[in-house]
Structure 1
Amino acid sequence: MPVTNEFFERTPTYASTLELAWQWFLRVVAAWSLILGILYWVRLIGFYDGAEWRFDLMPVHWQVAAVALAVLFPFAASGLWMLASWGPVIWFLCAAIEFGMYLGFPRLFGFHLEILIAHGIVAIIYCAFRAVFFLKARKQSD
């Protein structure tokens, strides 16, 4: 039996509008996560104009938090951009750390309501997308 191109051809798959919106959402969150990661790196290496915003001048609690987030935010950004399943997990870890910092220890880290609101909005949109995907899959299986 001769090998022809018909064995290697497949029907092209097209993403739905929902899937395209999901991909755009994840990539916007990835860009935002990368920016946050870069901002933590800028502070760690001393480009940030502030009294205690160089690693050797930071209090220990900021050193621990800044190093962790400087590594995790770009890692989350790469996972989100690649649409990998672990990307949102790492982003959630970053958001949980910042929630703990700014909500749990406002005397040490300050209270940044705008960051908490942004993380909350992203989490709500993420949950809404997952719920719609779940309902769509359940409807198709019936």
Structure 2
Amino acid sequence: MLHDSAHVPKPSLTEVLFGWFLRLVSASCFWFALNYWALLIGFSHNGAGRFDLLPPEWRAAATALAVVYPVAAIGLWLLVSWGPVVWVLAAAIEIAVHEFYPGMFGARPLLFVLHGAVAVTFVLFRVALFVQRLRQARKVRVDSP
């Protein structure tokens, strides 16, 4: 008896590790989102960071990050293609406010290093997956004699 479903190849170790990496980044995005929401509702900093008490520049940045980070977390957790794109947007906003406006937002150099490390790791995983798929495409050809 023939199977009526298509054969689904087993994911490689690189693909499995990449999925775990994206889910780990997703968990960190969710943590960042919770921190920004805690700031906005007055749960952290003894209520001094409540939305109505924040200066306008902090209102804009914290609100944007409180919305973008959970969306990035969902996209990364579901392993969809738009997840890393939204994460890059969130990381770029956060890096921009802390690196270009340290007088208003404070300098956080470790944040830049961590976001950079995640970006480099992501690129290395994508290169490894590309090379792996290229090798598989060369190995299995239907037009080979």
| TM-score of the pair, normalised by structure 2 | 0.89
Could you tell me which residue of structure 1 aligns to residue 76 of structure 2? 80
Number of aligned positions between the proteins? 138
- Tell me, in whole angstroms, the C-alpha distance in 2 between the residues paired with 1:138 and 1:15: 15
2:141 is matched with none
Q: 1:103 matched to which residue of 2?
A: 99
Q: Deviations over 1:80-109 (max 9, x none)?
A: 000000000000000100110111111110
Deviations 1:48-83 (A, max 9, x none): 124741100001000000000000000000000000
Shift of 1:11: 3.1
Question: Does the aligned pair in 1 maintain the 2:42–2:48 contact within 8 Å?
Answer: no
Aligned counterpart, 2:143:
none
Residue 120 (structure 2) aligned to one of 121, 124, 131: 124
Aligned to 1:62: 58
Q: Which moved more, 1:110-119 or 1:78-87?
A: 110-119
1:12 offset after TM fit, Å?
4.5
- AA at the equivalent of 1:40: Y
Whichever residue aligns with residue 49 of structure 2, its letter is: W
RMSD over equivalenced CA pairs, Å: 1.5
User: Residue 90 of structure 1 corresponds to which residue in structure 2?
Assistant: 86
Structure 1 residue 133, shift from structure 2 partner: 1.4
Q: Which amino acid aligns with 1:71?
A: V
1:8-87 matches, cutoff 5 A: 8-50=4-46, 52-87=48-83
Q: Distance between the aligned counterparts of 1:11 and 1:141, measured in 2?
A: 17
Letter paired with 1:99? I
What letter matches 2:87 in structure 1? W
Shift of 1:15: 1.1
Partners in 2 of 1:97 and 1:50 — Cα distance? 25
Structure 1 unaligned spans of 5+: none
Q: Please tell me whether residue 141 in structure 1 is matched to residue 137 in structure 2.
A: yes
TM-score normalised per structure 1: 0.90
CA–CA distance in 2 between the matches of 1:10 and 1:129? Answer: 27
User: What is the rounded CA distance, in whole Å, between the counterparts of 1:28 and 1:105 in structure 2?
Assistant: 29
Matches of 1:138 and 1:10 in 2, distance apart?
22
Which structure 2 segments of 5+ residues have no match?
139-145
List structure 1 segments (4+ residues) > 4 angstroms apart after TM superposition.
Answer: none
